[in-house]
């Protein structure tokens, strides 16, 4: 998938940690932690993908409907809930894209399911599991079960986020790609 190459390309210039991603047919979701300004990372990703798309499909003009949307994730619980929301995207559509989340290849979820699977170098699968509430264990398998069990309402998550002094520096970048 060429968007994955765009992530790698951006990572080479602006190293970042991605906690979750899901590439859908007309948009994608990312949960990124970066020391570099997120706008620089996203500009690099989107420019690289736009160039690929224009060349591959002889396309002229914009492919994105609008600028990416980002919101700071306040605290570990927000990161846990947002990552789960991202991973559940393929089954939360009007018509499920797969029977099982593990089967969706264009997501970071399979890397949480199978610890033997080598993730892309920008993907960090060791963080989210540490935020799981009791009685969950702090394992990727437990995170996998959490994602399967709990449907997240992203709007309510954002509304409920406290404005607190402690902010975990992870941002969610929600992109719409216009086909």
Q: Would you say the C-alpha torsion 93, 1, 101, 171 has a positive or negative sign?
A: negative
19-69 confidence digits (pLDDT tens): 999 998 888 899 998 888 888 999 899 889 888 777 888 878 777 777 777
Task: Answer whether the bond into residue 102 is a cis peptide, omega within 30°.
Answer: no
Nearest to 15 by CA among 108, 124, 116, 93: 124
Structure confidence at residue 15 (pLDDT)? 92
CA distances to 9, 33, 54, 103, 172 from 17, rounded to whole Å, are 14, 5, 28, 24, 12
Structure confidence at residue 52 (pLDDT)? 79
Structure confidence at residue 150 (pLDDT)? 80
- For the chain, which residues score pLDDT lower than 50? 163-179
Structure confidence at residue 114 (pLDDT)? 94
Structure confidence at residue 168 (pLDDT)? 41
Structure confidence at residue 157 (pLDDT)? 54
| CATH superfamily entry for domain 2-176 | Transposase IS200-like (3.30.70.1290)
**Hey, where are the domains in the chain?**
2-176
How many other CB atoms are found less than 10 A from the CB of residue 74? 20
pTM over 0.85: no
Question: How far is it, in rounded angstroms, from Cα 160 to Cα 134?
Answer: 20
């Amino acid at each position: 998938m060429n968007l994955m190459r765009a992530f790698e390309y951006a990572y080479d210039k602006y190293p970042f940690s991605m906690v979750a991603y899901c590439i859908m047919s007309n948009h994608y979701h990312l949960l990124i932690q970066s020391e570099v300004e997120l706008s620089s990372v996203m500009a690099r990703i989107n420019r690289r993908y736009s160039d690929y798309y224009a060349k591959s499909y002889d396309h002229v003009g914009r492919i994105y409907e609008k600028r990416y949307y980002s919101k700071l994730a306040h605290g570990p619980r927000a990161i846990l809930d947002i990552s789960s929301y991202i991973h559940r995207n393929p089954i939360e559509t009007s018509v499920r894209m797969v029977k099982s989340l593990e089967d969706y290849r264009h997501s970071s979820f399979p890397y949480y399911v199978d610890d033997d699977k080598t993730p892309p170098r920008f993907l960090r699968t060791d963080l989210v599991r540490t935020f799981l509430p009791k009685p969950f264990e702090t394992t990727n398998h437990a995170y996998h079960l959490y994602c399967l069990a709990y449907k997240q309402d992203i709007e309510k998550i954002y509304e409920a986020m406290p404005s607190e002094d402690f902010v975990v520096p992870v941002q969610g970048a929600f992109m719409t790609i216009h086909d």
